[in-house]
Structure 1
Amino acid sequence: MGITLGTAGHVDHGKSSLVQALTGINPDRWEEEQRRQMTLDLGFVWFSTPAGHSVNLVDVPGHERLIKNMLAGATGFDGVLFVVAADEGMQPQSLEHLQILNQLGVEHGLIVISKIDLVDAEWLEFISGEIQAQFAATSLANAPIVPVSARTGAGMAQLIQALDQLISQLPARMLQQHNPRLPIDRVFSIDGFGTVVTGTLRDGNLSIGMEIEILPQQLRGRIRGLQSQQISYTNVQTGMRVAVNLSGIERQSLKRGDVLTLPQTFEPTNLLDVLIETTADAPSLSHNQPLQLYLGSAELRCTLALLDCDTLPAKQQAFGQLRLQHPTIAQRGDRGILRRASPAATVAGIRVLDAHPQRHRRMRPAVIAQLQQLANGLPHEILLQHIQQQCLSWQELQQRSGFDSETALAALNTGCNNGLISIVSATAAPLTANSLITSTGYWNQLQANLRQILAEYHTTWPLRSAMPREELRKRMGLAASNFNQILQVLAEQAWLSIEANQIKLTEHQAQPNANQQAQIQALLALWQSNPALPPSREQWPKLEPELWRYLLQTEQLIHIGAEVYFLPKQYQQMHSWVLEQLAAGQSISLAQARDAWQTSRKYAQAMLEHCDQLRITRRVGDLRVAY
């Protein structure tokens, strides 16, 4: 598995020269970069250390006008080589890069003092102390300092040794802990191969032949080829710098900031709940302030809604909601940077607490308590916050939590054992990616709501045997897939009865009152006087629509066609006669049916057309034959 390191530091402090000295490769890809001797865009090189570590190195530009390119490359760093020129020390862009790395939570790296051939030993000792003091209150406070000269080679052996030691101390990366997610930082095409995208694989694995999706555009394609360090692979793992050759997607449809993942695993979002921490020299941020968000490899315009304060001064934290002009892909735990557009400056770092929140009202204690739990809660408490008022599949809940699979499963078990979380499945059913998970409170609320809706329906329509399944789903406001799983579980409950697409409380029985029963008997008496010749429409007594519906629902009358009904016994006799004629190989004429049933032409024709609709018979000329 490859290690991805990045460079950082002020323009012209020797980052690219250092990279070339380490790898033998010039990271400046463009002719203009080489002519101006200044990195304008991201450079990607690789090398192996004496200890056998395979290293991908991302060289970022150091000029203040190219900060967005630097931020696009900073996603996915395992560590950083922070380069400071010995003759100049920390400069404005050095400090901004340091702030960015601190806000992104980059904790592993080396401070490389470059160009030591330009200073004497006394100055080098002084500048080393100055640099160490400036790093002291940051995430890189413990980074070793390594003085080098790319021009003379002084200190390079010590740098390589320090790199090996740094890499050996990096925390083990969890494999397959999430669905694969590749923030795209380059897009190009190659003759004969087509579209190629590159990036650092943040999560999961990718394999040749996989169907993939590019978000937020929701473009589908397949992986045609995979490379890392110009070596072809059949599959690649978390943390590797990869180039992905795509089939089925045009180069013109893609851009830096898009995300490559698997179909139906991530949902684009326009809202992010975040914990904001302003930088040490940031101007105060205000509610509804427009800002630029750098998340993954994307640059996004957004509006900051401060949820627990009106203004946020330097070096302070607050909860906020970022309202994005365009959708993006994120999950809990992702880190990003907020910048002010004019005058350009990095003003804060953010940590995503919820990538799919509701739009919040400000200064609400319940909202703040929820965000505090998402920021600092125990794993099972964090799971609970995502399912307080909804059901999520196990796969989606894991993704939203940002936990690896082992942590998420342990948190689920804790929540279930504490009675706080419920798995909506049959008791003996195994946990799968599609298993529904919710809070126990919401699960109880769902059941109570379902019972109440059914009870109200039975009260409103006492003669209806059950409520249509789809009407119940809409009243409950549930997605079809969730509703079906919920009903499968509740079908085991004695209080609920489900038949086909009809649902009722088991205790409910459709029963006409005495007056309604008398009306029904009076109407049925008209049919019973001559079952083969039912009364015409003009002879029917006035009957409320619900009673008609009840008669059909209980099959006391069988509907044949427009204004044509038969008693069940008469209908069965006519139906059986048709089947007997067909079984004997006989065709049926309208006159034969009329005479056999001792009915009129109108009713005989209605019954034969009914048999056609049931695909028992089909009409050939003036006759009916077996369908």
Structure 2
Amino acid sequence: MTKNIIIGTAGHVDHGKSTLIKALTGDETDRLAAEKERGISIEPGFSHLENDKTNSENLRLGIVDVPGHEKFVNKMLAAAGGVDLALIVIAADEGVMPQTLEHLAILDLLEVEKAIIVLTKIELVDKEWTDLIELDLKDQFKGSFAAKADIVRVDSETGKGIAALKDLIIETALQMKKRQKSEIPYYPIDRVFTLKGFGTVVTGTLFSGEIKAGEELALYPMEKTIKIRSLENHGQEVEKVEAGSRVGINIGGLEKSEIEKGNIITTPDSLLKSKFFEAELKILENLNFTIKNGDSIHFHTAALDTTGKIYLYNKKEAFPGEKVYVKLVLAEKAALFFKQKYIIRRFSPMQTIGGGEILELDPPPRRKVSEHKIMTDLDNLKKADLKEAVEIFIRKKENSAAEIKFLKKKSALKNEKLKSILDDLVKEAKIIELRTDKSYIHYQDFEKIKEDILKIINAYHKKFELRAGLKKEELRSKIDFSLNKKEMDTMLEILVKEKVLKENNNLISEFAFKISLTKDLLAIKNKILKLYQKNLFNPPAKEEIVEQYENGASIFNYLVDNNYLVQINSELYFDQEVYSQLKIILNNYFQKNESLSLAEFRDLIGSSRRYALPLLKKLEELKLLKRKEDLRYPTNKLEKIKKSD
């Protein structure tokens, strides 16, 4: 199984980073004329380290050579985001310099996994001086991720120490963790150009997931569809690349002018894009200024370089060395993922302020939420693993169920991994699945909705003592939570199963609710039923009944709810026996006749057009009769009834 590791250089300008890469790989990473003329790197350069050991171990080592000049820190940041193993390059004749420390701080903030310190140009100084440089850098690197890094002394011009460095790089890479494949592909573009005969080509480091030749993906934040024509990794065309790979992609569907550095290639409909993010910010200790609410900043993550403003939670000013929670408002929309690392720099003069993790993507409006509550929420997200984070995302979805497409964007997980997490949370009774593979609510919300439903039903029973219950749709419209019809049905099914509610003819009531008729009301009920039974096809109007009896409206609704009376249309009600009697009459009629007219039906039931026509239409709806022009004919359904009789 192939393991992909990205190695990145770091260090002060002119400390020999590019020369070191050439000694390691044989490749010249300075490709621009200006770079060769000035002898410094301006843009990141790319190469790879390969030998018999890497091939036998299925190890793919991509190398990113970053600019060291302070004017090009933004270029260094564009390349540093995907680095797994840092080569911190320090010239033995100069020692630790300002850009060495800034690069080290950036790599620390980005939480690069491993570092190797490379002392270059050792032939220019004696051993005693080099020993002093080592002691100094150990002192200056104390507390950083590189504090215990191995130190290798090399001279790139003569090749001294290069073989030992190669061995150390390979052994270190073999011990490192392989990147996750359970996440969606996240490929930030750091270069875009055209090649004759190929068209548009982009390069970048695949942060997560995998990309296959021939598949259709999306370019964010524009969300334009692209076709992956071909992939190149380490100078070879490949069918698939995995997380941790440096890869060139030949893109179909877009021109070079439509793509910008910092754009993301990923699965369609998989990322949230927004100008607003909430994050933890670690402020560097060596700053000589404080951070204030509304400060303008440069924002860097992956290959994105944009501007924005920073807002502090629960304070107006933050000091060097502090960790704070902030809201970032960017100048343009960005597509990021949960816990993505970022760096911010001072707007002017340019200086690295700090960095951290994106915690809340596209946060909800916070006007009515206390800053203490916001900080607690962000603290929970900071501590959460992916499973805990998915639970939090569902719990924080205000007044509506969390759809799986929303959770996918929040978590940047593949469908399979996300579904596995959701299934586990369901089994642990932390969330409820309302629509299969589509929407979920947190158990806390379930309990709130349950309480809300019981209050509504209880109030309804008190107001309408003779009503069997509340209609589902009316109940759905009254609860203080937005559920669609299917979600509400699932919610009610669970509560019926738990014997909290019961359902009868689409009416919802409390499980223990029963209608009790007094002796007087029972007498009225029987009188009304006799009227309808006596006048089966010429029933009285509802208004007559309601006006004739005290509590007439309540009794009438009771009779309808409990199926003693059936409603034909908005005005007409019949005794429940009307359909069974009609079936007998029609079966007898069609034994001797082929068709039935409205007038014949009217005479057949001894009624008027007012009742006969709605009954005929209802019989058509029930598919007992079918109509051709002005005549009705028996259906197979009616004939089956006839045969069974």
Query: The TM-score by the shorter chain falls in which range?
Result: 0.7 to 0.9
Q: Offset of 1:365 from its aligned partner?
A: 4.8
Alignment of structure 1 residues 309-348 onto 2, 5 Å: 309-324=315-330, 326-348=332-354
Query: Over residues 179-207 of structure 1, what are the superposed CA-to-partner deviations in whole Å (9 max), with x where a residue is unaligned?
Result: 44333434456677666554333333444
Deviation at 1:535, TM superposition (A): 4.4
Q: Which amino acid aligns with 1:16?
A: S
The equivalent residue for 1:20 is 22
Is residue 612 of structure 2 the alignment partner of residue 608 of structure 1? no
C-alpha separation between the residues in 2 aligned to 1:44 and 1:584? 93
Say if 1:181 and 1:203, in contact at 8 Å, map to a contact too.
yes
Residue 60 (structure 1) shift: 2.1
Q: Which segment drifts farther, 133-142 or 26-35? A: 26-35
Q: Which amino acid aligns with 1:610?
A: K
Aligned-pair CA distance for 1:349 = 1.6
Q: What is the alpha-carbon distance in structure 2 between the residues aligned to residue 461 and residue 255 of structure 1?
A: 65
> 1:487-506: CA deviations, max 9, x gaps?
55444312233568654422
Distance 1:162 1:585, change over 3 A: farther
* Contact 2:13/2:68, CA 8 A, preserved across alignment: yes
Match of 2:472 in 1: 468
Matches within 5 A, 1:94-133: 94-116=100-122, 124-133=130-139
Given residue 238 of structure 1, which amino acid in structure 2 is its aligned partner?
A
Find the aligned partners of 1:262 and 1:513 in 2 and give their Cα distance: 66
| Post-superposition offset of 1:56 | 0.3
1:311 maps to amino acid? E
Structure 1: gaps (5+ residues): 427-431
Is the Cα–Cα contact under 8 Å of residues 6 and 57 in structure 1 kept in the other structure?
yes
- 1:185 is matched with 190
Q: Spell out the pairing of 1:495-574 with structure 2 (5 A cutoff).
A: 495-498=500-503, 503-509=508-514, 527-535=532-540, 542=547, 551-561=559-569, 563-574=571-582
Q: Do the aligned residues in 2 keep the contact of 1:215 with 1:259 (CA within 8 Å)?
A: yes
Partner of 1:202: 207
CA contact (8 A) 2:109 2:354 kept: yes
2:163 partner letter: A
Give me the CA root mean square deviation.
4.6
Contact persistence 1:436–1:485 (CA under 8 A) = no
| 445, 450, 454: which one aligns with 1:451 | 454
Structure 1 position 312, deviation (Å): 1.3
- Residue 118 of structure 1 deviates from its aligned partner by 5.0
Query: In structure 2, what is the equivalent of residue 590 of structure 1?
Result: 598
- Aligned residue for 1:429? none
The offset of 1:147, in angstroms, is: 3.7
Q: Distance in 2 between matches of 1:210 and 1:376?
A: 36
Shift in CA distance, 353/613, structure 1 to aligned 2, threshold 3 Å = same
Q: Deviations over 1:491-545 (max 9, x none)?
A: 4312233568654422234677888878776766654453323446886754987
Q: Distance in 1 between matches of 2:623 and 2:617?
A: 10
| Structure-2 residue corresponding to 1:240 | 245
Q: CA deviation at 1:286?
A: 1.6
User: After the TM superposition, which of the residue ranges 576-585 and 28-37 deviates more from structure 2?
Assistant: 576-585
Query: Which residue of 263, 275, 280 maps to 1:275?
Result: 280
Tell me, in whole angstroms, the C-alpha distance in 2 between the residues paired with 1:503 and 1:493: 14
Q: Within 2, Cα distance between the matches of 1:154 and 1:162?
A: 14
Judge conservation of contact 1:79–1:106 (CA < 8 Å) in 2: yes
Q: Which moved more, 1:582-591 or 1:336-345?
A: 582-591
Asked whether the equivalents of residues 206 and 237 of structure 1 are also in contact (C-alpha less than 8 Å), the reply is yes
Alpha-carbon distance in 2 for matches of 1:60, 1:376: 32
Distance in 1 separating the partners of 2:570 and 2:256:
60
- Tell me the distance in 1 between the aligned counterparts of 2:257 and 2:567: 60
2:356 alignment partner in structure 1: 350
Question: How far did residue 79 of structure 1 move?
Answer: 0.9
Match of 2:49 in 1: 47
Cα–Cα, structure 1 residues 532 and 265, in superposed 2: closer, same or farther, change >3 Å?
same
Question: Which position in structure 1 is the counterpart of 2:640?
Answer: none
Shift of 1:262: 3.6
- In structure 2, relative to structure 1, the CA distance for the partners of 1:412 and 1:293 (3 Å cut) is same
Deviations 1:211-243 (A, max 9, x none): 644444444556554432233444333322234
Q: Which amino acid aligns with 2:458?
A: A
Distance of 1:250 and 1:545 partners within structure 2: 71
Q: Normalising by structure 1, what TM-score? A: 0.80
**1:204-243 equivalence runs, <5 A:** 204-208=209-213, 212-219=217-224, 223-243=228-248
| Aligned CA distance change for structure 1 residues 546 and 331 (closer, same or farther; 3 Å) | farther
Where does 1:73-88 land on structure 2 (aligned, <5 Å)? 73-88=79-94
CA distance in 2, matches of 1:269, 1:550: 54
Find 1:66's aligned residue among 68, 72, 75. Answer: 72
- Using a 3 Å threshold, how does the CA distance of structure 1 residues 30 and 451 change in structure 2: closer, same or farther? farther
Whole-Å Cα distance in 2 between the matches of residues 186 and 37 of structure 1?
21
Q: Classify 1:228/1:437 alpha carbon distance in 2 versus 1 (closer, same or farther; 3 Å).
A: farther
Q: CA deviation at 1:23?
A: 2.1
Which stretch has the larger CA shift, 490-499 or 407-416? 407-416
Deviations 1:406-453 (CA, angstroms, capped at 9, x unpaired): x99999999999x9x635479xxxxx98795846x5554454344334
Q: CA deviation at 1:94?
A: 3.0
Taking structure 2 as the reference length, what is the TM-score of the superposition?
Answer: 0.78
- Quote the Cα distance in structure 2 between the aligned partners of 1:500 and 1:223: 55
Unmatched runs of 5 consecutive residues or more in structure 2: 636-645
Q: Post-superposition shift, 1:379?
A: 9.2
Judged with a 3 Å threshold, the aligned counterparts in structure 2 of structure 1 residues 129 and 550 are, in CA distance, closer, same or farther, namely same
Offset, 1:346: 0.9
Identity %: 29
C-alpha distance in structure 1 between counterparts of 2:120 and 2:251, whole Å: 40
| Alpha-carbon offset, residue 71 of structure 1 | 1.4
| 1:3 partner amino acid | I
- Deviation sequence 1:31-81 (CA, Å, 0-9, x none): 554555543333322121452142101122333343333212111211112
Aligned positions of 1:155-174 closer than 5 A: 155-170=161-176, 172-173=177-178
CA distance, structure 2, for counterparts of residue 615 and residue 578 of structure 1 = 13
In structure 1, distance between residues paired with 2:166 and 2:25? 11
Deviation at 1:340, TM superposition (A): 1.8
Q: Take 1:303 and 1:474, find their aligned partners in 2: how far apart are those partners? A: 41
Preserved contact between residue 227 and residue 242 of structure 1 (Cα < 8 Å): yes
